[in-house]
Copies of this chain bind each other. A is one copy, B any other.
Amino acid sequence: MVHLDEASPEKHASVLLNISNLLNELGDGTQVELVVHGPGLSAVIAEAPHAAKVDELLSRGVTVAACAYTMRGMNISVDGLIDGVQVVPSGVAELVRRQRLGWAYIRP
């Protein structure tokens, strides 16, 4: 699991690159989930500067999960997200839930 809650596109580029490198290193079959919430949601909206990189990660099997709390707060619907991004009820709860299932957690 990779946790992203910052607004800056430079941060987004860096986190997306971290995930690419992680897949390169652990293999494309590795389950990786990027969880975005708060200001990090801007990384996965349709017009995000690094949307092409998000697409690439989705096509490599990465799950991208957006926080429904944040989406309501920012008045963004699922149609406003990059195709293939999933919605979870709460980004933070998702991070807790998956750790309980034994997933590792990285917060770049």
Contact = CB atoms under 8 A, between A and B. Distances in A.
Of the candidates A22, A24, A90, A106, the one having the most CB atoms from chain B within 10 angstroms of its own CB is: A106
Of the candidates A18, A38, A89, the one having the most CB atoms from chain B within 10 angstroms of its own CB is: A18
Interface residues of A, number: 26
Given A3-B108, A14-B38, A21-B92, 18 more contacts: A3-B107, A5-B14, A19-B92, A21-B69, A21-B90, A22-B90, A22-B93, A25-B90, A25-B92, A25-B93, A26-B93, A26-B96, A38-B108, A92-B106, A96-B106, A99-B104, A106-B107, A107-B107
Interface string A45-65: 000000000000000000000
